[in-house]
Chain A
């Protein structure tokens, strides 16, 4: 063979070796993600209780159970942390991006249910298990994506709260999501997936406001707000 065959040995052989090594790591990552996905789905299921009959005890139990399940998630991510090579988070992050986004959402939902305020990024990272890790961290865009998912979930919760007779929760949600909306408006989003997801936020806001509006014109808002609505009716 003449020297052109060098092309194969020189160029393609190392490339294939490189790919093979990469595939091995990806395989390991996929296995770990499977372990993370399981508690993740369980948390999702647990928290669906909020859409059923109003029962604050049950919601508390669901939150507690979810927090326990988050422990499994953290174990998973600490394993993952060990196999990701230094400085290559974004090389492999496609594998766990979706899980991270959902986990950000779930942690935000739990904090909202328990305390009624917006989770900050560090707390979310703590819950998911990113804070004591060396190489992994909570990507800001994943966290923001989680917050947008939260807004959608809350718009559903607003509707269902009314159905089971909790007329004050839609107001809480309305204020919460309006603040979130105000926050997102401060960001200069590129034309990426986060931007597309953000465009949905206004529909969530609208839906929640419609629920509050329906309550207010019927005088169903608790205490102070009932008067406000009554005044409104008188004027128009």
Chain B
């Protein structure tokens, strides 16, 4: 026990009532900045603040990416039209916007992460990354009919000029693909509306394969995948129902009425509707 400690207690006796809490307050007020403990904690404080601030900055960047990605997906839905010109111009527009995200927004995140363990900040940008993958894969699927492998997409996140690489998690990729199925389902229903029946079967097929892929995947300890697969199954069920109805009643009712029929059927399980993310 130091001498200073005793003095403190002496000083205390002048106060009227030694209620609980007084002592702590008193020690607090007597501690100055030369105290070893305080000096240590001032350093910790800086370190923690730095960590939190960086995290928040990345969250912000990620949020912008999410918003832009959602808009891109919305734009892509407008390509379910017969007008080839319009389609191509949307694709072009989307292409530049996707490039922009990779070259600007994601690069900023990569710069923030320079010299830091990306896994520590992964949670801050995982949602933006997933949404982006969803948009990118949707674009690739609509335009080329296939989705690039992780390896290929990963190349976009290597920024040679700054000599940095953005950490692109396999999980984010696969979760983005899971989200994509929701869009494919929506696209399938839209196609039905405009009478593009062949596409419906094609989309349904694609989602079936994605579902197969998830069934064959074992990812212990990853709850998010489980949640998304649940949504995926619901989307798939809707699409399979669409295809079934197309086949069985396709010749009976006019196409625009088919949509109405399907909508009533789907209202039943509409409550637990898709978009499990967020």
Contacts and interface: CB of A to CB of B under 8 A. Distances in A.
A168 B209 contact: no
Nearest to B23: A209
Contacts of A209: 20-24
A19 B217 CA distance: 9
Contact of A186 (B38, B119, B216): B38
A6 B146 contact: yes
A162 B44 CA distance: 34
Contacts, number: 163
A133 B119 CA distance: 19
A224 B10 contact: yes
A14 B149 contact: yes
Interface residues of B, number: 60
Most buried by B among A11, A120, A216: A11
Contact of B119 (A23, A89, A190): A89
Contacts of B147: 6-7, 10-11
B24 A181 contact: yes
A19 B1 contact: no
Contact of B20 (A6, A168, A185, A213): A213
A16 B218 contact: yes
A235 interface: yes
Contact of A187 (B31, B48, B119, B145): B48
Contacts of B145: 3
B9 A178 contact: no
Nearest to B137: A11
Contact of A88 (B31, B35, B119, B210): B119
Nearest to B29: A182
A225 B6 CA distance: 7
A172 interface: yes
Contact of B41 (A23, A183, A216): A183
Given A8-B212, A15-B174, A235-B16, A140 B44 contact: yes
B162 interface: no
Given A140-B47, A210-B20, A217-B18, 5 more contacts: A10-B149, A12-B214, A19-B218, A118-B36, A206-B21
9 contacts: A3-B145, A15-B150, A16-B216, A90-B117, A90-B119, A141-B48, A183-B41, A186-B42, A188-B45
